[in-house]
Amino acid sequence: MNLKLIFSCVFISLLLAACSSSQKTTESQENSAANTVKKDSLYIFDAVPSVEKNNTVPENTAPSPERMKMTYYVVQIGAFNSQEAADEFATNSRKKINYAINVSYNPDVKLYVVQLTSDYTSHDEAERVRNELWQMNDFKDAWIATVQK
């Protein structure tokens, strides 16, 4: 029986030594990490406060897609059956006016449209630009297109 008692004491001593050793290793690693943080001037958040989430949306507060759309006005200076003709007109127009010009295909009218790239939020501003273009013979057909985005 004496042998069992000695064996038990040795086993418990080894177990305690191993636990304290791993605790020291963990403390040493934490201290090393803290020193690294101080050296690199890196801040690590200790705790993140919890945020209450309110996942419910009150009725009638979410805007409908129709209310989210805004009205813009685009000055269109030409419309063509072929992209080549639209591109040529746009190239020549860029030499004559100081506005950015875009060529795009409009599937609604099945034409390549040449428009100024500025979208005006005010109809009056679009009219001012269109009226300025009307002073030039090449742009007498300019008109304002209304766009919902």
For residue 93, is it within any domain? yes
For residue 61, is it within any domain? no
Among the listed ranges 52-56, 82-86, 128-132, which one has the minimum average pLDDT value? 52-56
- The predicted pLDDT at position 53 comes to 54
pLDDT tens column, 82-122: 999 999 999 999 999 999 999 999 999 999 999 999 889 99
For residue 24, is it within any domain? no
* CA dihedral over 93, 94, 100, 106, signed as positive or negative: positive
For residue 34, is it within any domain? no
Q: Would you give the distance in Å from CA 127 to the centre of its chain?
A: 32
Nearest to 119 by CA among 73, 53, 60: 73
pLDDT-above-70 percentage for the chain: 55
Q: Could you tell me the residue range of the domain that residue 116 belongs to?
A: 67-148
Residue found under tokens 């100081």:
98
Cα separation, 92 vs 88, in Å, equals 6
- The predicted pLDDT at position 97 comes to 95
For residue 130, is it within any domain? yes
For residue 113, is it within any domain? yes
The domain tally of the chain equals 1
For residue 14, is it within any domain? no
For residue 109, is it within any domain? yes
Identify the CATH number of the domain in which residue 130 sits. 3.30.70.1070
Give the Å distances, CA to CA, from 118 to 58, 59, 76, 77, 111.
37, 37, 10, 13, 20
